[in-house]
Structure 1
Amino acid sequence: MAKSGGEEADSARRRGRPRSIETSNSILESAYALMAATGLATTTIDAVARHSNVSKMTIYKWWPSREALLIDAFLHHAAQMLPLPPVSSGTPAARARRHAAAYAEALQGEFGKVQLAVISECISKTGSAELFYARYLQFRRDALVAMIAAGQKDGSILAEGAPEDLYDAIYGGLFYRYVFGIAPVTPAYARSLVDLVLRPKG
């Protein structure tokens, strides 16, 4: 499986002793738990180190910045909560419906609040959301764009636009509606939006 931008960056950065999966997961889970429970302002490296019982030196060795750690903690949680749909789980359109519906449902809970907070943190610290895109969104976006393209190729998706534009219309629309509170972002709405944008055959 292809690595996300963050994973590739970490691989390139590490040259010595490989990180412990158990310790890494403990750090990521602690960071996400703190973000969800107390907010980003109090989710410092010190707080994560205390919560996970890991030294600050270890955290700084594996993550180049606090922002990178927060994004990877969100990525770690999202990978479990919103796994990318496997090829064996139905047509591209059916998989898109399920994933969009799961995303819409996740937005209603702590996941949505943490995602928005992490993006805001990136923008306030670096002036853009590029770090969030590189470490989290790019890999997932590329995988779902490829899924849409496969549906166009096999004829199960009738929409003729560029797969990237179709993806952005679905997930950008859901996020826009969520951020501004225009109307509830429900799983049913997400499924109907997928059908409106992709025009699945049959």
Structure 2
Amino acid sequence: MTDQPTAAAVDQPPARSRGRGRRPADEVRGDVLRAVGELLLAEGIADLTFERVARVAGVSKTTLYKWWPSRGALALDGYFHAVEQTLAFPDTGDIRVDLRDQLRAFVHLMTATPAGRILTELIGQAQTDQDLAVAYRTLYSSERRRLAAERLRAAQEAGQVRDDVDVQVVVDQLWGAVYHRLLVPDEPVTESFADALVSNLLLGIADPRPASR
């Protein structure tokens, strides 16, 4: 397990090339999102400010305010950037394996890395930060749902999932159950829990034997 970056390391501005002219907007935005992601995963959201991000990323606060209306919206965008590759949805051709592996990756990220605590903080702050709430729905939640739905629709086309199944409901059944345990921690969130969710969903829970009268 690698160590998390220290505050001193996070506050070290990235090296810059000495070329003339302005950097492309995509490059600047990428630097900002990397800086925010590193700060969040190292320290949480409490000390995340526009001033600090501007210093670390080597940009002006004006640039940050042009793209993000609030600290919460900036934090959510940086968080999504930090976890996007980890939560990429696999497509091996076997929907059972892909659902299991993606849920396991999600469970690991939420329970064994700082990302889980950060996400619960962001969800909590979204209750009072309207800009963060909008960013959460449009960037994180909607994008995560889209990726899962696309994979499930591909499974429908391959004949692995019935055509009449509403894939959005399936997304809620699987990931909604994990979020529930994360936010209401009466029971542990484990890989075996993720495996059981997939098995119960794909195999069903009804006993195929005729009910005795």
Task: Give the TM bin, normalised by the shorter chain.
Answer: 0.7 to 0.9
Cα distance in 2, alignment partners of residues 128 and 67 from structure 1: 5
1:184 to 2:188 alignment: yes
Instruction: Show structure 2 runs of 5+ residues with no match.
Output: 1-21, 205-213
**Alignment TM-score, normalising by the size of structure 2:** 0.75
Point out the more displaced range, 90-99 or 125-134: 125-134
Residues paired across the two proteins, number:
182
Per the alignment, residue 59 of structure 2 pairs with: 54
Which protein is bigger by CA-based radius of gyration?
Answer: 2
> Are the aligned partners of 2:69 and 2:131 in contact in 1 as well (CA < 8 Å)?
no
Deviation at 1:19, TM superposition (A): 4.5
> Are the aligned partners of 1:159 and 1:198 in contact in 2 as well (CA < 8 Å)?
no
> Are the aligned partners of 2:89 and 2:151 in contact in 1 as well (CA < 8 Å)?
no
Point out the more displaced range, 145-154 or 180-189: 145-154
Partner of 1:117, secondary structure, is helix
Per the alignment, residue 129 of structure 1 pairs with: 133
Higher RCO (CA < 8 A, seq sep 6+) = 1
Q: After superposition, where does 1:159-170 map in structure 2 within 5 Å?
A: 161-170=165-174
Point out the more displaced range, 58-67 or 101-110: 58-67
Per the alignment, residue 7 of structure 1 pairs with: none
**Alignment TM-score, normalising by the size of structure 1:** 0.79
AA aligned to 2:88 is P
Cα distance in 2, alignment partners of residues 113 and 143 from structure 1: 23
Deviation at 1:190, TM superposition (A): 0.9
Instruction: Show structure 1 runs of 5+ residues with no match.
Output: 1-16
Task: Identify, as 1 or 2, the structure richer in helix.
Answer: 1
AA aligned to 2:177 is G
Q: After superposition, where does 1:55-74 map in structure 2 within 5 Å?
A: 55-74=60-79
Cα distance in 2, alignment partners of residues 196 and 38 from structure 1: 38
Deviation at 1:146, TM superposition (A): 2.7
Per the alignment, residue 198 of structure 2 pairs with: 194
CA RMSD of aligned residues (A): 2.5
Deviation at 1:138, TM superposition (A): 0.7
Deviation at 1:61, TM superposition (A): 2.2
AA aligned to 1:165 is V
Deviation at 1:163, TM superposition (A): 1.2
> Are the aligned partners of 1:93 and 1:151 in contact in 2 as well (CA < 8 Å)?
no
Per the alignment, residue 78 of structure 1 pairs with: 83
Deviation at 1:161, TM superposition (A): 4.2
Pick closer, same or farther for the CA change 1:176–1:127 going to 2, 3 Å.
farther
